[in-house]
Amino acid sequence: MLIHDENPLLTEDADQIVNGLINEFELNSRQARALKVIAYHKISQSTEQLMMIVAGPGGTGKSRVIAAVTSLFSKLNCSESLKRSAPTGIAAYAIKGTTLHS
């Protein structure tokens, strides 16, 4: 269970950390928006589950967004609460997730 003392975003500037991830993963504006939705939902410590689909044709950076989100959850010491899935085995393997029917 995540406690406040272990959450870096509660003791550091949240925007600085999120913007650092945006720069590190070279996210475009739409990718950055997706990361911010997820990051600020997690930072808010909402008890409601956020379910979000990152969709688009091949080569649009979906895996890059998922890698940035994975890094965020790692920085928050709560990687175990992030679940990743994809429609095909190849896509699931690429994001270290499971297929949707698993």
Decide if 80 is inside a domain. Answer: yes
Number of domains in the chain: 1
Question: What's the pLDDT score for residue 66?
Answer: 93
Single-letter residue type at 58: G
- With a threshold of 0.85, does the pTM exceed it? no
Residue 98, φ and ψ in degrees, nearest 5: -120, 165
In this predicted model, what pLDDT tens digit does every residue of 18-55 receive, in sequence order?
999 999 999 999 999 999 999 989 888 888 999 888 88
77 inside domain: yes
Q: Is residue 88 part of a domain?
A: yes
How far is residue 52's CA from residue 42's CA, in Å, rounded to a whole number?
13
Find how far residue 69's CA is from the centre of its chain.
2
* Structural domain containing residue 71: 11-99
52 neighbors 38 (Cβ within 8 angstroms) = yes
Residue 2 lies in a domain: no
| pLDDT over 50 at 98, yes or no | yes
Domain assignment present for residue 1? The answer is no
